[in-house]
Amino acid sequence: MAIRIVVAGVAGRAHRPQVASLVRRYLLFSSLCLSACLADPIGQSALVPSSVTSLVVVRNGRTNVSLLAAWALAPNRAWAAGQDGVVLAWNGTDWRVESTPTQETLTGVWAADTDDVYASASNGVLLHRTAGGTWIQDSSGTRNTLLEVWGLDRDRIWALGTSGTILRHSAAGWRPMSVPLPAELWGIWGSSEAALVAVGQNGVLLECCDGGVWHSVASPTTTGLFGVAGDGAGRIVAVGAGGTIVLRDNGVWRTVTSPTAVNLFGVWSDGPGRFVAVGDGGRILSGDGVNWSVMPADGAHENLRAIVAAGGRHFAAGWYGTILDDAGGRWHPTLDGAVLYDVHAPADGPAIAIGSGGLAFQRIGASWQNYVLPTSTSLYGIAGPSARARLVVGDSGTILRFDGSSWHREASPYSGLLRAVWWSPDARAMIVGNEGTALAWDGAAWHATTTHSKAFLRHVWGSEWADVWAVGDSGTVLRYDGLAWHVLDAPTTQLLRGVWGRTPRDVWVVGDSGTALHWDGRGWQTLPRPSTNALRAVRGIGSDIYAIGGDGRAWRWNGTAWTEFATGLPILLVGMAVDGAGFVAVGDLSIIVQSRP
């Protein structure tokens, strides 16, 4: 999915058994009230007034398309470009989308100055940013995909791509150069017009120029090479597939030992013996050309495709609108389009939002800041009774627990996708996920429970340990009585994505195609659909019920009708939590939305 945004067979029981004793009834009511009103195990309180009237975007990315190229003129002036003709411009404070006349995939970007920027693209498209910041299309004379554009100055620029295409730009326009073989060419660098190097498929190395003609040189590898850069002191480095690094030193090309096996796509030099390379999995390497090491980086660890620097500040661009920089001495995202799946907002500490590739943000005051979790695995659910005790679950059986001072990983009996977690008032917990998985915490370890279902369970909530609900695919509703799961028939076959309640007789379920259901202890009520899009989460505030979903919208049910609130952005809201100001919601493009009274 690419969003181009300009501004991610057991019979069901009808009800719980009646309690014979009036005293036990009173104690049960008191316990449920304390659980819902005081313990607040999943971050919402019935004491919060139902005063939501609008939604405000407090954080979001610009696009979730893959960014494939970047260039920087200064620490406060840079560009990144990628799919769908998207160009982002950095002004030192924020990345802004610039309008372009194409939806071709942009593969390279290079700038002589702010009024002279070029971008290469598929189908031979070349774009030129001229005075006033307007992008226009340049005539390249080819239909071949152009994979890179690079220059020495405004009068000496090259574009290269498939079928051995190399174009030279001058005052007369773009002209093809003579190339000895029809290889895909991915990267170019040079210290002068007479000392150029181009790299490409199958380890191809080309050098220029003898009378304007490129010639092949012996390569130490047959692995595809995607990027090349020199340090101005004699060393040139090219990087490629499988972590390949080749070095030209004293006029001879050779391979050097790489600390990674992931594909490397971009390389940059800051000066003699100082190189930085980037690649898949958010991998960032630092080295002198011969010796290399992996650098720590925060964020979603998306695949990185380009690395540039200016004035000592580096920018790395990659998938899902990701841009990292190293301001402050550590790599962190300045922009990302990864999905945030859930958020936890306890009353006694900062809210935390979690998502793709271990991406996380923490709310400090009114500001959402990058937060480092000890994983690069995608995370889908977060819950806990307070800021000092939280659980996070995700892909590959990931279970992380916060003990008030640090996070640590816990052993999981299931290695697949874990989608949601609920923490009970008595410190027990339940996790649900793919293949009908439900894991229970007994105080010492996690163990699998039998759900009698193979459905993907998308969400879980409970009023107490003897009343836990899970919902999932094909209208699946399951209920746990503290000992066993039971199938509860629901009046829908839609995929169900969210469940929340106040008591065992007041439970709300939402799902695809605007499905909204209410359980009153005796049966189901099907509510009018507030939207034809999916509803992804549901919570209560006071006497009202709130749901979030597609098109950046939320809805309030007041008992008789739905009222709609919109963010103004056509993106999906996925997870929500109630806080002291109303509710906070997260979703596509790493969006974070706060309700307002």
User: Phi, psi at residue 37, to the nearest 5°?
Assistant: -95, -25
Cβ atoms of residues 190 and 153 within 8 Å: no
Looking at residue 14, its pLDDT comes to 30
Q: What is the mean pLDDT of residues 249-275?
A: 97
- Tell whether 229 is covered by a domain: no
Looking at residue 24, its pLDDT comes to 33
State the number of CA atoms in the 13 A half-sphere of 329 facing the CB.
Answer: 0
- Tell whether 35 is covered by a domain: no
Looking at residue 78, its pLDDT comes to 98
pLDDT in tens, 452-481: 999 999 999 999 999 999 999 999 999 999
pLDDT in tens, 288-330: 999 999 999 988 899 999 999 999 999 999 999 999 999 888 8
| CATH classification of the domain holding 582 | 2.130.10.10
- Tell whether 171 is covered by a domain: no
Dist. CA 102–CA 111, nearest whole Å: 19
- Tell whether 567 is covered by a domain: yes
Q: What is the mean pLDDT of residues 180-196?
A: 95
Looking at residue 22, its pLDDT comes to 29
Looking at residue 102, its pLDDT comes to 97
- Tell whether 184 is covered by a domain: no
pLDDT exceeds 70 at position 35: no
pLDDT in tens, 354-369: 999 999 999 999 899 9
pLDDT in tens, 95-109: 999 999 999 999 999
DSSP three-state, residue 436: helix
- Tell whether 408 is covered by a domain: yes
Cβ atoms of residues 545 and 52 within 8 Å: no
Q: What is the mean pLDDT of residues 162-184?
A: 93
Q: What is the mean pLDDT of residues 213-237?
A: 97
Looking at residue 29, its pLDDT comes to 32
Q: Which domain holds residue 471?
A: 41-60+338-596
Place 579 in a pLDDT band, splitting at 50, 70 and 90: very high
Cβ atoms of residues 467 and 484 within 8 Å: no
DSSP state of 312: T
pLDDT exceeds 90 at position 54: yes
pLDDT exceeds 80 at position 13: no
Place 280 in a pLDDT band, splitting at 50, 70 and 90: very high
Nearest residue to 480 via CA among 525, 439, 443? 439
Dist. CA 575–CA 573, nearest whole Å: 6
Looking at residue 30, its pLDDT comes to 33
Dist. CA 189–CA 207, nearest whole Å: 10
pLDDT in tens, 473-528: 999 999 999 999 999 999 999 999 999 999 999 999 999 999 999 999 999 999 99
Q: Do you know the residue count of the chain?
A: 597
Nearest residue to 70 via CA among 268, 254, 256? 268
- Three-class HEC string of 52-120: CCEEEEEECCCCCCCEEEEEEEECCEEEEEEHHHCEEEECCCCEEEECCCCCCCEEEEEEEECCEEEEE
- Tell whether 187 is covered by a domain: no
Sequence-distant (6+) residues with CB within 8 A of 552 are 55, 566, 567, 568, 569, 570, 571, 572, 573, 587, 591, 593
Looking at residue 36, its pLDDT comes to 34
Place 69 in a pLDDT band, splitting at 50, 70 and 90: very high
| pTM for the predicted model, two decimal places | 0.83
What stretch of H or E contains 26? helix 22-34
DSSP state of 178: B
Over the range 434-473, which residues count as b (16 or more CB within 10 Å of their CB) and which as e?
bebbbbbbeeeebeebebebebbbbbbbbbbbebbbbbbb
Looking at residue 37, its pLDDT comes to 35
pLDDT exceeds 80 at position 20: no
Mean pLDDT over the full length of the chain: 91
% of residues, the chain, pLDDT over 70 = 91
Place 65 in a pLDDT band, splitting at 50, 70 and 90: very high
Cβ atoms of residues 537 and 585 within 8 Å: yes
User: Phi, psi at residue 434, to the nearest 5°?
Assistant: -65, 160
pLDDT exceeds 90 at position 31: no
Looking at residue 581, its pLDDT comes to 84
Direct distance between the N- and C-terminal alpha carbons of the chain, in angstroms, rounded to an integer: 34
Q: What is the mean pLDDT of residues 5-34?
A: 32
What tokens does 146 get? 């152009």
Distances (CA, A) of 212 to 196, 207, 218, 558: 11, 11, 20, 75
pLDDT exceeds 90 at position 420: yes
pLDDT exceeds 80 at position 12: no
Looking at residue 209, its pLDDT comes to 82
Sequence-distant (6+) residues with CB within 8 A of 132 are 115
pLDDT in tens, 519-563: 999 999 999 999 999 999 999 999 999 999 999 999 999 999 999
Place 212 in a pLDDT band, splitting at 50, 70 and 90: confident
Looking at residue 523, its pLDDT comes to 96
Q: Is residue 530 classed exposed, middle or buried when 0-12, 13-18 and 19+ CB atoms within 10 A define those classes?
A: buried
Place 132 in a pLDDT band, splitting at 50, 70 and 90: confident
- Tell whether 126 is covered by a domain: no
Q: What is the mean pLDDT of residues 565-589?
A: 94
Place 252 in a pLDDT band, splitting at 50, 70 and 90: very high
Place 405 in a pLDDT band, splitting at 50, 70 and 90: very high
Cβ atoms of residues 463 and 454 within 8 Å: no
pLDDT exceeds 60 at position 17: no
Q: Domains in the chain: how many in total?
A: 1
